[in-house]
Chains A and B, each alone.
Chain A
Amino acid sequence: MASSVALPRARATSFPNRFFGLIPGILLLLAVGYAGKFIEQSIAHYGKAHHLVLPNIEYVLWAILLGLVISNTVGVPQVFRAGVATYEFWLKAGIVLLGARFLLGDVLRLGGLSLVLVFIELALALTFMTYLGRGFKLSPKLVTLLAVGSSVCGVSAIIATQGAIDADEEDASYAIAAILALGAISLFLFPVVGHALHLSDHAYGLWAGLAVDNTAEATAAGALYSDAAGKVAVLAKTCRNALIGFIVLGYAIYWAQKGQAAEVKDKGAFLWQKFPKFVLGFLLISLLATLGVFTKPQLTALGNLSRWAFLLTFAGVGLRTNLRELGKQGARPFIVGAVGEVAIALITLGLVFGADKWFHL
């Protein structure tokens, strides 16, 4: 699971201590997420009762904003931190359950298209970020971490790469801070740009999944646009995540050849260790749904369980983002990340427009 600059993981000794230590934070995630849902419903009810046309602001945004307010005003007390850090666990469980809302044929069709676009995006983004980082004279390993973080899958990719290439803690911390800050900005900017360009749900979802770094932020950016866009964003992002092992392995071999990282002995085991297992879970549930294992009400129930898991995730995205902490990490990695993110957003937008023209998304 991706750790966070803002919320270091709490250390407990025994299993019961660790388990019970998670409960306060998980309850906080639930409270913040549910408050977001409550605000959305209250505004809708008020508008209906008073015959007013009020903007429909999704619970996703309210949950993130409430989390941000708490994190950046009173802060998240120590007792909640371990539980709040489980938000990525809920994200992955939610993605697996979301598989029930996809027929395997759709997954293969849209996933196949996403994979092709992901390959192009990775090649262009990794090359661009590498030259950009060198131009700004960042340390070579920090450049690698920023390139992987912005082109593959954010914090998880940085942490996986840090271990594989023996990068400094400090470099990883810079890269994580830059990617988290940019992820928070993307989260709010992407829906605005998507609406301004009148992108369809599929086109926007594909764009968010290809361009937004962290899985949690990509999921939220998609869900902020529409339910359908959220589904497509998760699928496209999952395709990106599936390639993490190959990219990290490539960099590990590169740095090992330079004598600056340990040699990878068993490449198969390395790939399996880095492979995100929730991708397999997602495909399995999608296969079961396609085979008709679940009835329609059961599919609805699984979809709703997925929404509850995402609700905890979105609350966690806000709660773990401490803007002051992110601001302390230095300007140069942030500038490189920001320029890179804009370039990746434009490249992927071009890819999505191209795909839309050829495949009518």
Chain B
Amino acid sequence: MSKSQRRFSLDSWAVVLALVAALLVRTGILKTVPW
């Protein structure tokens, strides 16, 4: 498998960002998100 294939795809980074956001909400660091 080439280096570029091993590298995290943008798709995966989007998942990581969303999971980190969910963790921040779950732990209470991010309490409210206004809309």
- Whether A293 is near chain B, meaning CB under 8 Å from some CB there, is yes
Bound form: Cα–Cα A293–B35 in Å: 22
Chain B residues with CB below 8 A from A101, complex form: none
Asked whether, in the complex, the Cβ of B19 is within 8 Å of the Cβ of A301, the reply is no
Q: B11, B22, B25, B32 — which one has the most chain A CB atoms within 10 A of its CB?
A: B22
- Whether B3 is near chain A, meaning CB under 8 Å from some CB there, is no
What interface size band does chain B fall in? 20 to 34
Q: A278, A281, A293 — which one has the most chain B CB atoms within 10 A of its CB?
A: A281
Asked whether, in the complex, the Cβ of B1 is within 8 Å of the Cβ of A269, the reply is yes
Contact string, B1-35, partner A, CB cutoff 8 A, digits 1/0?
10001000111111101110110011000111111
Asked whether, in the complex, the Cβ of B11 is within 8 Å of the Cβ of A277, the reply is yes
- Whether A178 is near chain B, meaning CB under 8 Å from some CB there, is no
Contact of B22 among A1, A278, A288, A304 (CB under 8 A): A288
Asked whether, in the complex, the Cβ of A278 is within 8 Å of the Cβ of B11, the reply is yes
Contact string, A270-296, partner B, CB cutoff 8 A, digits 1/0?
000100111011001100100001100
Say whether chain B's binding surface is mostly helix, strand, loop, or mixed.
Answer: helix
Determine how close the nearest CB of chain B comes to the CB of A32; give it in whole angstroms.
Answer: 17
Determine how close the nearest CB of chain B comes to the CB of A182; give it in whole angstroms.
Answer: 24
Contact of A302 among B1, B14, B21 (CB under 8 A): B21
Closest B residue, CB atoms, query A307: B35
- Whether A39 is near chain B, meaning CB under 8 Å from some CB there, is no
Contact string, A76-118, partner B, CB cutoff 8 A, digits 1/0?
0000000000001111111011001000000000000000000
Known: A297-B32, A301-B32. A89 touches B22 (CB 8 A): no
Q: What is the total number of residues of chain A having a CB less than 8 Å from a CB of chain B?
A: 32
Bound form: Cα–Cα A301–B31 in Å: 8
Chain A residues with CB below 8 A from B34, complex form: 304
Known: A269-B1, A288-B22. A301 touches B33 (CB 8 A): yes
Chain A residues with CB below 8 A from B30, complex form: 301
Bound form: Cα–Cα A63–B19 in Å: 26
Chain B residues with CB below 8 A from A308, complex form: 33, 35
Bound form: Cα–Cα A311–B25 in Å: 20
Asked whether, in the complex, the Cβ of B19 is within 8 Å of the Cβ of A277, the reply is no
Known: A96-B18, A269-B1, A301-B33. A294 touches B11 (CB 8 A): no
Asked whether, in the complex, the Cβ of A294 is within 8 Å of the Cβ of B25, the reply is yes
Contact of B10 among A1, A96, A297, A307 (CB under 8 A): A1
- Whether A305 is near chain B, meaning CB under 8 Å from some CB there, is yes
Bound form: Cα–Cα A304–B6 in Å: 33
Bound form: Cα–Cα A294–B28 in Å: 10
Bound form: Cα–Cα A70–B13 in Å: 29
Determine how close the nearest CB of chain B comes to the CB of A95; give it in whole angstroms.
Answer: 8
- Whether A298 is near chain B, meaning CB under 8 Å from some CB there, is yes
Chain A residues with CB below 8 A from B9, complex form: 277
Asked whether, in the complex, the Cβ of A89 is within 8 Å of the Cβ of B35, the reply is no
Bound form: Cα–Cα A294–B31 in Å: 12
Bound form: Cα–Cα A352–B12 in Å: 32
Known: A285-B22, A302-B25. A278 touches B33 (CB 8 A): no
Sorted from nearest, which 8 A-B pairs have the closest CB atoms?
A96-B18, A281-B15, A92-B14, A304-B33, A301-B33, A93-B14, A304-B35, A277-B11
20 contacts between A and B (CB under 8 A): A88-B10, A89-B14, A93-B14, A93-B17, A93-B21, A94-B18, A97-B21, A269-B1, A273-B5, A276-B11, A277-B12, A278-B15, A281-B18, A288-B22, A294-B25, A297-B32, A300-B33, A301-B25, A304-B35, A308-B35
Interface contacts beyond A89-B14, A278-B18, A294-B25: sample of 14 additional A-B pairs, CB < 8 Å, sorted by A? A88-B10, A89-B13, A93-B17, A94-B18, A276-B11, A278-B14, A280-B15, A285-B18, A285-B19, A285-B22, A293-B26, A301-B33, A302-B33, A304-B33
